Structure 1
Amino acid sequence: MSTKIVLKFFRSNRIYRPSEPVEGKIVINSPSSISHHGIRLSVTGSVSLQVRGGSAGVIESYYGVVKPITIVNKSIEVKPPGKIGSGTTELPFTMVLKQTGEKSLGRFYETYHGTDVSIQYLFTVDIARGYLYKSLSATTEVIVESDKADVLERPVSPEMAIFYITQDTQRHPLLPEIKSGMLLCHLS
């Protein structure tokens, strides 16, 4: 049996806002005690673009994917170097994606997985071990929603007219002419 690592979040849906604390625990199940050079938890947010044939250069279309753009990269030390005993060990963690007043690389974008664009936030726990041992790690994605303060409200243009389409508005006297294409409009 080998050592297993699982990231468990206190929210089962793993949906967070950038200003909220992301809390959970790292569960390590090991058949024997292991020594380590520290346990780190990191979050990486990235934007990946899928390039399609006509809109790309020769090299980009050959590879099909542009290198992901990092928008968040934070890391904390959960446990300093030492030993983990055999059996199940649980290490609690708390990380805030964006501290109030903190300057970041840019805005936090909501998690999105589309055909051409993908925005994702991955939490990774790394257990660094000695030179002769392979490092242990586990990765889990969390969903990030925008803060209410980050949502930009567009000003209403004075030329904008608000209207509703209902059953009653569909019974206009010019409806037969509009459907047949016989209505000629002159805009002044």
Structure 2
Amino acid sequence: MSIELKLSRANRIYRPSETLEGKIVVKSASSISHYGIRLTVSGTVSLQVRGGSAGVIESFYGVVKPISILNKSIQVRPSGKIGSGTTEMLFSMILRQPGEDNLERFYETFHGANISVQYLITVDIMRGYLHKALSTTMEFIVESDKDGNGNFAT
């Protein structure tokens, strides 16, 4: 049995105001029961502290605990069965709801020597106690929104 995530854009680049969409592809030799299929989008900022520029306490740890900047989940399917063969399930999620208080701060994806801003999309197929949950994760890239004047909006 395999599970695969396919985003609608091959380059996997999205802006906070856009809809993240794609499909979940499940391939199975036989039908399986599940207790729900959940899609989670998360964003984290990770700081890596190097000796020399770090304080005494920070240098003991080396890596500061990642800071969560985004965490949204949707249920793609309720409990049920997935038939044998290949099953495709479409999904879409708006990263930032228009008009809502934008409490989430979207930073551009970045992987540097001391800091990393990463966005992940994860699919979990929950199964019973006797079966291990199926899961897959993929990174996607967030770029800043630009306003009408070509300036980056926050």
Query: For the superposition of Structure 1 and Structure 2, which TM-score range results when normalised by the shorter chain?
Result: over 0.9
Q: Please list the CA deviations of residues 105-163 of structure 1 after superposition, one character each: whole Å capped at 9, or x if unmatched.
A: 3321100010101001000000010011100000000000000138269xxxxxxxxxx
SS in 1 for 2:118: strand
Structure 1 contact 6–27 (Cα < 8 Å) conserved? yes
Hey, what's the Cα distance between the residues in 2 that align with 1:79 and 1:92?
10
Structure 1 contact 72–105 (Cα < 8 Å) conserved? no
List alignment gaps of at least 5 residues for structure 1: 154-188
Asked if 1:136 corresponds to 2:134, the answer is yes
| Greater displacement, 61-70 / 74-83 | 61-70
Residue among 20, 23, 37 paired with 2:21:
23
What does residue 62 of structure 1 align with? 60
Give the alignment of 1:49-128 within 5 angstroms: 49-128=47-126
Q: Please list the CA deviations of residues 83-118 of structure 1 after superposition, one character each: whole Å capped at 9, or x if unmatched.
A: 001110000000111011222433211000101010
Deviation at 1:31, TM superposition (A): 1.1
Q: Please list the CA deviations of residues 37-62 of structure 1 after superposition, one character each: whole Å capped at 9, or x if unmatched.
A: 10000100000000011233444322
Amino acid at match of 1:109: Y
| Greater Rg over alpha carbons, structure | 1
What does residue 171 of structure 1 align with? none
Hey, what's the Cα distance between the residues in 2 that align with 1:118 and 1:7?
23
Hey, what's the Cα distance between the residues in 1 that align with 2:76 and 2:16?
20
Amino acid at match of 1:11: R
Amino acid at match of 1:75: S
Structure 2 contact 36–75 (Cα < 8 Å) conserved? yes
Greater strand fraction, Structure 1 or Structure 2: 2
Hey, what's the Cα distance between the residues in 2 that align with 1:77 and 1:11?
22
SS in 2 for 1:53: coil
Deviation at 1:15, TM superposition (A): 0.4
Cα–Cα, structure 1 residues 91 and 97, in superposed 2: closer, same or farther, change >3 Å? same
What does residue 36 of structure 2 align with? 38
CA RMSD of aligned residues (A): 1.6
Q: Which runs of 4+ in 1 moved over 4 A?
A: none
| Greater length-normalized contact order (CA 8 Å, ≥ 6 residues apart) | 2
Q: Please list the CA deviations of residues 9-28 of structure 1 after superposition, one character each: whole Å capped at 9, or x if unmatched.
A: 11100100011111100000
Amino acid at match of 2:51: G
Q: Please list the CA deviations of residues 149-183 of structure 1 after superposition, one character each: whole Å capped at 9, or x if unmatched.
A: 38269xxxxxxxxxxxxxxxxxxxxxxxxxxxxxx
